[in-house]
Protein backbone atom coordinates (compact mmCIF):
# COMPACT_ATOMS: atom_id res chain seq x y z
CA UNK A 1 0.00 0.00 0.00
CA UNK A 2 1.19 3.49 -0.84
CA UNK A 3 0.20 6.84 0.65
CA UNK A 4 0.09 10.12 -1.23
CA UNK A 5 1.13 13.73 -0.83
CA UNK A 6 -0.01 16.55 -3.11
CA UNK A 7 2.39 19.45 -3.55
CA UNK A 8 2.16 22.72 -5.44
CA UNK A 9 4.85 23.37 -8.06
CA UNK A 10 6.82 25.68 -5.75
CA UNK A 11 6.67 23.13 -2.91
CA UNK A 12 7.81 20.35 -5.26
CA UNK A 13 10.72 22.49 -6.49
CA UNK A 14 11.76 23.25 -2.92
CA UNK A 15 11.69 19.55 -2.00
CA UNK A 16 13.83 18.68 -5.01
CA UNK A 17 16.32 21.45 -4.26
CA UNK A 18 16.69 20.85 -0.52
CA UNK A 19 16.06 17.11 -0.31
CA UNK A 20 13.48 17.56 2.45
CA UNK A 21 10.78 19.94 3.61
CA UNK A 22 8.46 20.53 6.53
CA UNK A 23 5.68 20.53 3.94
CA UNK A 24 3.05 22.97 2.78
CA UNK A 25 1.91 25.89 4.95
CA UNK A 26 -0.92 23.77 6.44
CA UNK A 27 1.59 21.02 7.33
CA UNK A 28 3.85 23.52 9.06
CA UNK A 29 0.90 25.05 10.94
CA UNK A 30 -0.40 21.64 12.08
CA UNK A 31 3.02 20.25 12.99
CA UNK A 32 2.93 17.22 10.68
CA UNK A 33 2.82 16.39 6.98
CA UNK A 34 -0.65 15.45 5.74
CA UNK A 35 -0.91 12.35 3.55
CA UNK A 36 -3.91 10.60 1.99
CA UNK A 37 -4.63 7.03 1.00
CA UNK A 38 -5.55 6.23 -2.59
CA UNK A 39 -9.21 6.30 -1.57
CA UNK A 40 -8.84 9.73 0.09
CA UNK A 41 -6.58 11.52 -2.42
CA UNK A 42 -9.29 12.69 -4.84
CA UNK A 43 -11.36 14.23 -2.06
CA UNK A 44 -8.24 15.87 -0.63
CA UNK A 45 -7.47 17.42 -4.02
CA UNK A 46 -11.04 18.66 -4.45
CA UNK A 47 -11.24 20.07 -0.92
CA UNK A 48 -7.80 21.65 -0.51
CA UNK A 49 -6.58 22.25 -4.08
CA UNK A 50 -9.76 23.08 -6.02
CA UNK A 51 -8.96 24.97 -9.21
CA UNK A 52 -5.18 24.76 -8.71
CA UNK A 53 -3.08 23.59 -11.62
CA UNK A 54 0.57 22.58 -11.64
CA UNK A 55 0.24 20.10 -8.79
CA UNK A 56 2.40 17.03 -8.19
CA UNK A 57 1.31 13.73 -6.69
CA UNK A 58 3.98 11.94 -4.66
CA UNK A 59 3.71 8.31 -3.58
CA UNK A 60 5.39 7.03 -0.42
CA UNK A 61 5.59 3.61 1.21
CA UNK A 62 4.48 4.10 4.82
CA UNK A 63 6.60 1.12 5.85
CA UNK A 64 9.77 3.09 5.11
CA UNK A 65 8.71 6.06 7.26
CA UNK A 66 9.07 4.24 10.56
CA UNK A 67 7.52 5.49 13.78
CA UNK A 68 7.16 8.98 12.32
CA UNK A 69 3.97 7.94 10.48
CA UNK A 70 0.77 7.86 12.52
CA UNK A 71 -2.75 7.03 11.45
CA UNK A 72 -5.10 9.56 13.03
CA UNK A 73 -8.80 10.40 12.67
CA UNK A 74 -9.61 13.40 10.54
CA UNK A 75 -12.20 14.24 7.90
CA UNK A 76 -15.39 12.33 8.72
CA UNK A 77 -13.60 10.19 11.30
CA UNK A 78 -11.48 8.51 8.62
CA UNK A 79 -7.94 7.54 9.57
CA UNK A 80 -5.36 9.60 7.67
CA UNK A 81 -1.60 9.07 7.58
CA UNK A 82 0.32 11.93 9.20
CA UNK A 83 4.10 12.21 9.10
CA UNK A 84 5.78 13.69 12.18
CA UNK A 85 9.11 14.22 10.44
CA UNK A 86 10.36 16.13 7.42
CA UNK A 87 9.10 15.00 4.02
CA UNK A 88 12.15 13.56 2.26
CA UNK A 89 12.86 13.46 -1.44
CA UNK A 90 14.86 10.23 -1.23
CA UNK A 91 11.87 8.33 0.18
CA UNK A 92 9.56 9.02 -2.80
CA UNK A 93 8.42 5.86 -4.57
CA UNK A 94 7.20 7.85 -7.58
CA UNK A 95 6.04 11.33 -8.59
CA UNK A 96 3.57 12.32 -11.28
CA UNK A 97 2.01 15.53 -12.50
CA UNK A 98 -1.55 16.05 -11.27
CA UNK A 99 -3.07 18.20 -14.01
CA UNK A 100 -6.33 20.08 -13.67
CA UNK A 101 -8.95 18.94 -16.16
CA UNK A 102 -12.45 20.20 -16.89
CA UNK A 103 -13.90 17.96 -14.15
CA UNK A 104 -11.17 18.34 -11.54
CA UNK A 105 -7.72 16.90 -11.10
CA UNK A 106 -6.74 14.02 -13.36
CA UNK A 107 -5.29 11.26 -11.23
CA UNK A 108 -3.19 8.45 -12.70
CA UNK A 109 -5.25 5.57 -14.02
CA UNK A 110 -3.42 3.07 -11.84
CA UNK A 111 -4.28 4.87 -8.58
CA UNK A 112 -6.68 2.53 -6.76
Flag whether pLDDT at 31 surpasses 70.
yes
d(CA 46, CA 36): 13
What is the domain partition of the chain in residue ranges? 3-102
pLDDT in tens, 51-105: 999 999 999 999 999 999 999 998 888 999 999 999 999 999 999 999 999 999 9
Cβ burial 55-78 (10 Å sphere, 16+ → b, else e): bbbbbbebeebeeebeeeeeeeee
Query: What pLDDT score was predicted for residue 1?
Result: 93
Superfamily for domain range 3-102:
Protein of unknown function DUF952 (3.20.170.20)
Q: What share of the chain is helix, strand, coil (3-state, %, to 5)?
A: 35, 35, 30
Query: What pLDDT score was predicted for residue 112?
Result: 57
21: β partners: 87
d(CA 11, CA 14): 5
Amino acid sequence: MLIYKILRASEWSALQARGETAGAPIDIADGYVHFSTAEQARETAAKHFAGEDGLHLLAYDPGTLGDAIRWEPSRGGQLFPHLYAPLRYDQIVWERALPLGPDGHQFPDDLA
